């Protein structure tokens, strides 16, 4: 009796183990970029890529701007120049060279950041770009703050040449002086914006919708350090881009 029961029990346990492990492997996330900002200098000059992919970020500045470390959500974060509107304002961003693995195409993805800002960090004359790859006239994925009253974040995607733009705006703002996690997620059917892990807006996104910003850098905090750069003026931590 013992000789026949034991193999059956072992076979059952093996089958259960396979059932438990298989979904985990199928749903694995591939992290392509992550900036935790925990090893930066003051002022910040470069940023280590904590994904292990070696995509070091470089701080760009204009008009005397600096990017400085602050107490982050976890460890350190960084702060961009204070609000200034008009010509000659301090401008800064963190930029990362183009990489094919940061062009999702039709793949599922999640990207985002932790942000901390107040209403005083919002400008009434321009938006605030948090993290993006691509511009309005190219394919693009982008997370931004574009509501000067409440600081409501939004997700933006575009296909080749900037066509067929889809914008999903959060129903809640984040400009209250506390850290918030803001993320954009593509599933098989939708583009969703999440604030503190809660869905706050979504739009249909066809499975064939191609997001391939070839030749474009990743920029954090502003799209450039030129005029009309949509400078973000708050604090940021834990910037990431994942293929799901």
**What was the pLDDT predicted at 5?**
40
pLDDT, tens digit, 9 for 90 and up, residues 78-103:
999 999 988 999 999 999 999 999 99
Specify whether the backbone of 170 is left (phi greater than 0), alpha (psi in -120 to 50) or beta.
beta
pTM beyond cutoff 0.75: yes
**What was the pLDDT predicted at 149?**
80
pLDDT tens for the chain, 244 residues: list them.
333 444 444 343 434 333 333 333 345 689 999 999 999 999 999 999 999 999 999 999 999 999 999 999 999 999 999 999 889 999 999 999 999 999 999 999 999 999 999 999 999 899 999 999 999 999 999 999 988 788 999 999 999 999 999 999 999 999 999 999 999 999 999 999 999 999 999 999 999 999 999 999 999 999 999 999 999 999 999 999 999 8
Residue 31: CB atoms within 10 A of its CB come to: 15
**What was the pLDDT predicted at 147?**
80
**What was the pLDDT predicted at 146?**
84
Collect all residues with Cβ–Cβ distance below 8 Å to 223 and sequence separation of at least 6: 93, 129, 132, 135, 229, 230
Tell me the C-alpha distance between 161 and 200, whole Å. Answer: 28
Nearest alpha carbon to residue 141 among 242, 233, 31, 34: 242
Tell me the C-alpha distance between 195 and 108, whole Å. Answer: 19
Query: Encoding tokens for residue 51?
Result: 């994904």
């Amino acid at each position: 009796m013992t000789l026949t029961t034991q193999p059956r029990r072992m076979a059952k346990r093996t089958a259960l183990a396979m059932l438990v492990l298989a979904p985990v492997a199928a749903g694995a996330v591939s992290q392509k970029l992550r900036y935790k900002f925990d090893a930066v200098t003051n002022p910040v000059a470069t940023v280590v890529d904590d994904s292990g992919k070696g995509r070091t970020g470089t701080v760009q500045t204009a008009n005397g701007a600096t990017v400085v470390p602050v107490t982050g959500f976890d460890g350190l974060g960084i702060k961009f120049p204070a609000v200034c509107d008009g010509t000659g304002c301090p401008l800064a961003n963190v930029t990362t060279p183009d990489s094919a693995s940061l062009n999702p195409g039709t793949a599922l993805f999640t990207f985002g950041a932790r942000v901390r800002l107040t209403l005083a960090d919002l400008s009434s004359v321009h938006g605030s770009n948090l993290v993006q790859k691509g511009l309005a006239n190219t394919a693009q994925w982008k997370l931004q703050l574009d509501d000067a009253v409440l600081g409501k974040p939004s997700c933006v995607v575009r296909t080749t040449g900037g066509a067929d733009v889809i914008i999903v705006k959060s129903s809640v703002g984040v400009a209250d002086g506390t850290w918030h996690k803001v993320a954009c997620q593509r599933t098989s059917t939708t583009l969703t914006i999440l604030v503190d892990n809660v869905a706050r807006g979504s739009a249909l996104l066809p499975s064939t919708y191609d997001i391939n910003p070839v030749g474009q850098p990743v920029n954090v905090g502003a799209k450039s350090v030129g005029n009309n750069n949509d400078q973000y003026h708050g604090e940021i931590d834990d910037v990431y881009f994942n293929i799901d």
